[in-house]
Structure 1
Amino acid sequence: MDQPAIDLSLRLLLNLKPWRNAATWHIAFSGGLDSTVLLHLLATLAKTHSLPALSAIHVHHGLQAVADAWPQHCQSICDALGVPLKIIRVQVKPGASLERAARDARYDAFRAATQVNEMLLTAQHRDDQAETLLFRLLRGAGVRGLSGMPQQRALGRGHLLRPLLDVTRAELEAYAVEHQLRWIEDPSNQDRQFSRNYLRHQVFPVLAERWPQAVATMARSAAHLSEAQELLDELAQIDLATANSTSDFDWLGVPSLALAALAQRSAARQRNALSHWLATRTRLPDSDHWSGWENLRDAVGDARPVWRLADGELHRGGGRIWWLSGGWLRGFSSEVDWPDPALPLQLPDNGVLSINGAIPVGPLHVRYRTGGEVMNLPDRGHRDMKRLLNERGVPGFVRGRLPLLYRGEQLLAVAGLPGLNGSATDGWVLQWVPPSEDQGLS
């Protein structure tokens, strides 16, 4: 093996050093040049170094007739290298961008296949990083987007690693030729209607004629922007630490932030902190849609503003902003009978109710607010439910979900609110466990 090949192997090994104690390294194996070189490098290194168990994953999108032969090709390569292969067939959802839909389907498969203490290794290289930077720049991305592809990030229950980001496409091609590797040439890679292919075949050759080091310098810029993003993330954590105060309604399990702590920051710091907080919960809005945050923040009086995002909604209430998604945005039954109050009651799409202590005389049933409810309280007489909820600062989004325990037309208890959730005289308390993520809330 000559010097360039040795250098490439050692660079790969050095980039993967922090992850040598993982249980498994999965290689995302399309059968193309880049992933074929990565697979060959790792299989060769495994003969002389103690590495985690290697396996390959091939995702079959079924978008081209010619692709039907690719799983067999990948299987033959893996058999020759002694690496087990898992073939996953996916359905690509139709949409405006076939590129994005295929990528989403592919990474959904990778996410499901990557378990605790396992790593998925992909073969993106320095040229890919430069293309990503220019592509995102043309789409008006901010610092986070322009920082390019991270070398590592969480994926599923494990991590995704990109150990070849400091390697050029030319180096991979030289390695493949030297070792007489066979790889797939995807016809779609020549289709210039796809934005990345257009950049690769039309734009970068022109840039390289004028600036031969364009790819290297753009990749370096992505690294600088990645460092800048790290600083912004640190600033976001500082700002969020003050907004992550406790609330009387933390028991709901709904993520929330204190609005006043955010509102005292500059507009740019507000957006930075919220972007950091929302990044794990939803696709982030583009610049034109941040007016939704301003409307939410600046609403006055008893307004109940909502900022709708791709994967959920931000609500405002009780001096806080609340992130609602999944089951919190779905409907639920309006009335449920409770035939045996000695047993917990599963509420359709709304958690579980139980009674601790002496069981009230029945028959009992559960309703939800429709307006005009009145409750008889010891020493206070009949009180309007709306006023009682206002006194306790109950956020608007949960008011319609609070289970109300009735006996006939008599309102006995309101779940979740101390002082209203049972009878101290008769010795019982109504307990409500709101829906968890496993029960349909995300």
Structure 2
Amino acid sequence: MKPTLPAKLLQALAPWHNAPAWHIAYSGGLDSTVLLHLLAGLAKTQPLPPLHAVHVHHGLQAAADAWPAHCQAVCEAAGVPLRVMRVSVQPGASLERAARDARYQAFAEAIGPGELLLTGQHRDDQAETLLFRLLRGAGVRGLTGMPAQRPLGKGHLVRPLLEVSQAELETYAREQSLSWIEDPSNGDPRFSRNYLRHHVFPVLAARWPQAVNSLARTAGHVAEAQGLLDELAQLDMQAAQLPSAFPWLGLPSLALAPLCDLSDARQRNALRYWLAPLTPLPDSEHWIGWSTLRDAKGDAQPIWRLADGQLQRCNDRIWWIPTKWSEFSDSPLSWSHLQTPLQLPGNGQLYFSGHAPDGPLSVRYRQGGEVMELPGRGRRDLKRLLNESAVPGFIRGRLPLLYQGSRLLAVANLARASTGQGDDWQLQWAPPTCDQGLS
């Protein structure tokens, strides 16, 4: 016997019954209205987590001003608390993308640790996504379609209706006499997804009635293939994830030589896997940046600029540097012994281990031409000391320098670049963490 729609939903959400709360992304449209009705009904007979609904008001069209009131009335009838969130959509090349980004940012703010956001995307949406991405030339990861679940904010986004067709949702809505909002923009063919929905899929379905099911099934096959590629990437990454000589930097980095031993295709696969949590991935044409970085001469310090940061190569290692991580103030700071640790604007913290040297002390940054008087070594140029320690070039300008009056005493974290570090004291620097620097 074919399972009912409530049974399908309950089975899809079985792994999440211990979540602190379930939040329904409720636009007021057909899909989310059915999802809300189903969950409210199940909550009367099943021990579900507390239900909440979230309606995001984009303010993009006049008709939308009436939607929160409709959503409020439906939620009150269903006994589900509603939160209305108003967002500003940033103008850009794609209004669809901008609205989606604003919407999911609001959703991320609405859910707490371990909580779920449930959305109403269904099998037809999955087929639509696959065809849309295929036409844009997406890679294997893009052609996996929408995942059934993924992290969102401090919780997770779950799509429990991906195995359900739009026809099933429409049948349920009619049988239950549900009312929902028809968004006027859903018929506008200027939006790519609407064009596919109203002009392309009807033609495909006329010739291939199972087109939607077949495309959604293909997305599942591609997702399985992507899983195998991820497993290969994890194996290839093991040799490249050797610890760096500067663990205190806290930046993601990889040894270059193990990557170069792989084929070009496996290099790209491993890097895609590594970069995916850090930045939007480049399209095929922009991977030339990786080749340039990889093949540069040993004494070069090439840069591959990506959407949310850059890869730099230093001393046969590649480093990920987030855009925000690079932003800091290099203004000098006076340092009183009472200030421990010393907060460096945009540059972490500075502190002593052991007894601090006598003042007056100040913290400055490299300008060029600095020299130090080192016990037993005489006057040494700071640039040479940094070269001896193989300090990556991108960090040299933000290494804190400790001065006693006009005398350079120490370079943070470099025991060999100090006038007196040893048993008495050491200058320690904790740079911004990855959480502070990564987007």
Q: Fold conserved (TM > 0.5)? A: yes
Question: Cα gap change, 1:68/1:378 in structure 2, threshold over 3 Å: closer, same or farther?
Answer: same
Cα separation, 2, equivalents of 1:372 and 1:287: 43
Cα separation, 1, equivalents of 2:212 and 2:359: 75
Q: Which amino acid aligns with 2:248?
A: W
Counterpart of 2:108?
111
Question: Cα gap change, 1:147/1:437 in structure 2, threshold over 3 Å: closer, same or farther?
Answer: closer
Counterpart of 1:123?
120
TM-score, length of structure 2 as denominator length: 0.96
Cα separation, 2, equivalents of 1:153 and 1:357: 46
Q: 1:138 aligns with which of 132, 135, 148?
A: 135
Q: Tell which deviates more after alignment, 175-184 or 345-354.
A: 345-354
Question: Cα gap change, 1:91/1:425 in structure 2, threshold over 3 Å: closer, same or farther?
Answer: closer
Counterpart of 1:155?
152
1:341 touches 1:359 (CA, 8 Å); kept in 2? no
Q: 1:11 aligns with which of 1, 8, 17?
A: 8
1:421 touches 1:431 (CA, 8 Å); kept in 2? no
Q: 1:224 aligns with which of 221, 226, 235?
A: 221
Aligned pairs for 1:26-105 within 5 A: 26-105=23-102
Q: Deviations over 1:94-125 (max 9, x none)?
A: 00000000000000011111222211111101
**What secondary structure is seen at the aligned counterpart in 2 of 1:337?**
strand
Counterpart of 2:190?
193
Q: 1:407 aligns with which of 397, 404, 407?
A: 404
Cα separation, 1, equivalents of 2:433 and 2:230: 29
Counterpart of 2:292?
295
**What secondary structure is seen at the aligned counterpart in 2 of 1:88?**
strand
Cα separation, 2, equivalents of 1:342 and 1:148: 52
Q: CA deviation at 1:422?
A: 5.8
Cα separation, 2, equivalents of 1:274 and 1:201: 38
Q: 1:207 aligns with which of 204, 208, 213?
A: 204
Q: CA deviation at 1:425?
A: 6.3
Give the alignment's Cα RMSD to 1 decimal: 1.7
Cα separation, 2, equivalents of 1:355 and 1:133: 56
**What secondary structure is seen at the aligned counterpart in 2 of 1:423?**
coil
Tell me the number of residue pairs that the alignment of Structure 1 and Structure 2 aligns. 439
Counterpart of 2:430?
433
2:372 touches 2:419 (CA, 8 Å); kept in 1? no
1:119 touches 1:161 (CA, 8 Å); kept in 2? yes
**What secondary structure is seen at the aligned counterpart in 2 of 1:237?**
helix
1:308 touches 1:314 (CA, 8 Å); kept in 2? yes
1:358 touches 1:426 (CA, 8 Å); kept in 2? no
Question: Cα gap change, 1:426/1:361 in structure 2, threshold over 3 Å: closer, same or farther?
Answer: farther
Question: Cα gap change, 1:170/1:441 in structure 2, threshold over 3 Å: closer, same or farther?
Answer: closer
Q: 1:240 aligns with which of 219, 232, 237?
A: 237
**What secondary structure is seen at the aligned counterpart in 1 of 2:416?**
coil
Cα separation, 2, equivalents of 1:237 and 1:43: 42
Cα separation, 1, equivalents of 2:346 and 2:28: 45
Counterpart of 1:20?
17
Counterpart of 1:250?
247
**What secondary structure is seen at the aligned counterpart in 1 of 2:353?**
strand
Q: CA deviation at 1:343?
A: 3.6
**What secondary structure is seen at the aligned counterpart in 2 of 1:199?**
helix
Cα separation, 1, equivalents of 2:73 and 2:338: 63
**What secondary structure is seen at the aligned counterpart in 2 of 1:393?**
coil
Unaligned runs of 5+ in 1: none
Q: Deviations over 1:13-65 (max 9, x none)?
A: 11111111111111110000001001111111111111111111111101010
Cα separation, 2, equivalents of 1:262 and 1:425: 38
Q: Which amino acid aligns with 1:38?
A: L
2:24 touches 2:36 (CA, 8 Å); kept in 1? yes
2:130 touches 2:215 (CA, 8 Å); kept in 1? yes
Cα separation, 1, equivalents of 2:123 and 2:181: 20
1:422 touches 1:429 (CA, 8 Å); kept in 2? no
Q: CA deviation at 1:346?
A: 1.9
Q: CA deviation at 1:438?
A: 6.3
Aligned pairs for 1:357-368 within 5 A: 357-368=354-365
TM-score, length of structure 1 as denominator length: 0.95
Q: Tell which deviates more after alignment, 181-190 or 338-347.
A: 338-347
Is 2:371 the partner of 1:381? no
Q: Tell which deviates more after alignment, 348-357 or 209-218.
A: 348-357
Counterpart of 1:396?
393
Is 2:308 the partner of 1:311? yes
**What secondary structure is seen at the aligned counterpart in 2 of 1:257?**
strand
Q: CA deviation at 1:368?
A: 1.3
Q: CA deviation at 1:265?
A: 1.1
Unaligned runs of 5+ in 2: none
Q: 1:345 aligns with which of 330, 342, 346?
A: 342
Q: CA deviation at 1:234?
A: 0.9
Q: Which amino acid aligns with 1:35?
A: S
